[in-house]
Each structure stands twice: as structure tokens, then as C-alpha cells.
Amino acid sequence: MRLTPHKRLRRVLATSGAVLLLGLVPALAEAPGALAAPHPTRPGSYSAAAPTLHAAPARHRPGTDQVSYNGGPVQHSPVVYLDFWGSQWDSDGNGVQPYMTSLFNGLGTSQDHWSTITAQYPDSSGSGPAFTGPVLGGSWVDDASPAPASSQQQDIAAEADSAAAHFGVAGDPDAQIVVMSPSGTSPDGWPASGFCAWHDYTGSVSYTNMPYQLDAPAGSRCPNNLLGDKLSAFSIVEGHEYAESITDPQPSSGWLDPSGEEIGDLCESNFQNVTLPTGTFPMQPLWSNNGGGCVISG
């Protein structure tokens, strides 16, 4: 989520008696180009929190209130479109494309009890998200030219609009474009900016800025190689943005807590494997008003 293009918030999470500052690249450092100077992270981003792994349900930070509705849209029948941006993807050898395709071919199916956590969050019509089959609407490698080595927010939004035009979904309120940047690139200052990913709205389509998670430097705390899965950051981080894009596709007009945080922001810990028809994927819990806390199924 983004409240304004560069407004940022600081968040804290109490875990086993210790307080972790979410979004901080090692030792309280994450300012773009100046890793020694801490600053609050982008709202609605998956922040670079230190991972915690427990079998028990995740706990929200002390004092968190329920999320509440702010009058804007939610996605009723979410459809995800994967945009692999740049010719660099023609030679990616880490299996990211089939991994992401398998993830979204599994989400939305009858075996998916994770996405259904979002069903409790309707819009003003009283209708909320519903899932009747795989949410993947399509996958495209936009390889006419290389993705830029360093892209800005407006560049990422323009690529999302290009992908929406390619898929024919510009103006579709249920569409999500996931702009997958290739290895070796720095979208919106990543990884020095202190987020692992973020989502926003171009004016015609909801979209996510998804950096190449395996490029996160050692100690950056984006959740790579967790629960026995080398690509875990892609499912954990993109799952976070997918769920928030459902419940707040035009930030910040959907479902938020009093601090402006979304249902993924409140639960960035206690990652667990979720089994789908297409495989098993590490995921994070999501905030549930019904459950009064962070849950892994709904």
C-alpha cells in the first residue's frame, strides 16, 4: 500500500519479549544510498523484517486494533497477471517463472484456505472476495528490451499499464499486475530502500513492484531460503502483496488499521507452509478481524 508516493511509516513487532523494528535492513539501516541512516519504511510494502518461524499461530503486535473499511473498492474475483519485465528473464536459471506460475495456479482453488481469509472484508455493496478457481490470469515475458538497471516508481507503473494493455485488463477492478523485475536490477531503490516489495494503483490497474528477491544481500532480512524453500521470499512477499491488493487495491481506501497498515503488514512473521494442488509454498499469516489476530487459514 502507498498512502502518498513517498510517505513512510515505522512499525514494531513484539516477538518472544523482544521488539523488532520492521523494515530495517541490518542493524537499523535502510535509507537508499546511505545504509547507516535509518528511516521509516514505505506503507503497504512488505518490509524487511527479521523472520521468525513458529508452529503456533502468529501474534499481532500489542495494541493493534481491528482493521476497518475506508469506503474504497475491494477485489471481488481477484485475477493475477504475472509480468516478467525485461529480456533478462530469457536466461533466468533459478526457476522463478514456473514457481510463480505454480503459486498462482494453486491460489484460488478449493484447496486454498489461505486466500479465503480475505473473504471477510467486503466493500460498500456487502460483497467480499470470492474464489472459484486458480487466480492466475496469464503470464507474459516482456522481453522486447532489457528492464532498466534502476527504475523509478513511475517506470514501474508505466510497465504495469503496458502489461494491463497486453492482457486487455486496463480498468478491470479485479486485476492485479505483478511487475517482476529481473536479477541485477534495482526497482525503486531496492534493496537499499528497506522494503521487499510494495503495491499501488496506476489509475487504471492495481499493481505490485516485485524485485528479484534472490538478489537481496546477506543480512537484508527479506525471507529467502526459509522452510526448506530457496524461493520462499517470492511466495511469502508476493503473497503478502496479493492479499493486500485484494483488500486495498487502491491504497489507502480499503481495509486498514488505525495506523494505516493492511492485513499483511500486521503479520510479517511465523511463516508456515501452505499446501496447494500445485505444490507447497511458504506463506505468512494474514490479519483476521474474525479471529482477532493473525491466521494462516480462513
The per-residue pLDDT of the chain, averaged, comes to: 83
Please compute the mean of the pLDDT values over residues 213-220 and round it to a whole number.
Answer: 89
C-alpha cell belonging to residue 6: 513517498
Please compute the mean of the pLDDT values over residues 165-179 and round it to a whole number.
Answer: 98
Report the amino acid identity of residue 191.
P
pLDDT band at 27 (very low <50, low <70, confident <90, very high): very low
- Is the pLDDT at 25 greater than 60? The verdict is no
pLDDT for 64 equals: 55
pLDDT for 216 equals: 94
Compute CA 206 distance to the chain's CA centroid, rounded to the nearest angstrom.
12
pLDDT band at 20 (very low <50, low <70, confident <90, very high): very low
pLDDT for 131 equals: 98
Question: What are the start-end ranges of the E strands in the chain?
Answer: 11-15, 18-22, 46-47, 68-69, 79-85, 136-142, 150-151, 175-180, 186-187, 195-201, 206-210, 255-256, 272-276, 279-283, 286-288, 293-295
- Is the pLDDT at 102 greater than 90? The verdict is yes
- Alpha-carbon distance of 112 to 110, in angstroms, equals 5
Of the given ranges (18-27, 49-58, 240-249, 251-260), which has the lowest mean pLDDT? Answer: 18-27
- Is the pLDDT at 98 greater than 70? The verdict is yes
What own/partner pairs with CB < 8 Å and gap ≥ 24 does 145-148 have?
A: 145/86, 145/87, 146/86, 146/87, 146/88, 147/85, 147/86, 147/87, 147/88, 147/181, 147/182, 147/185, 148/185
Nearest to 45 by CA among 224, 245, 204: 245
Please compute the mean of the pLDDT values over residues 200-220 and round it to a whole number.
Answer: 94
Compute CA 137 distance to the chain's CA centroid, rounded to the nearest angstrom.
17
- Is the pLDDT at 174 greater than 50? The verdict is yes
Please compute the mean of the pLDDT values over residues 276-288 and round it to a whole number.
Answer: 98
Please compute the mean of the pLDDT values over residues 113-138 and round it to a whole number.
Answer: 98
What is the percent of the chain where pLDDT is above 70? 79
Please compute the mean of the pLDDT values over residues 30-47 and round it to a whole number.
Answer: 37
- Alpha-carbon distance of 106 to 62, in angstroms, equals 33
- Is the pLDDT at 81 greater than 50? The verdict is yes
Q: Domain ranges in the chain?
A: 11-295
The structure's pTM equals 0.84
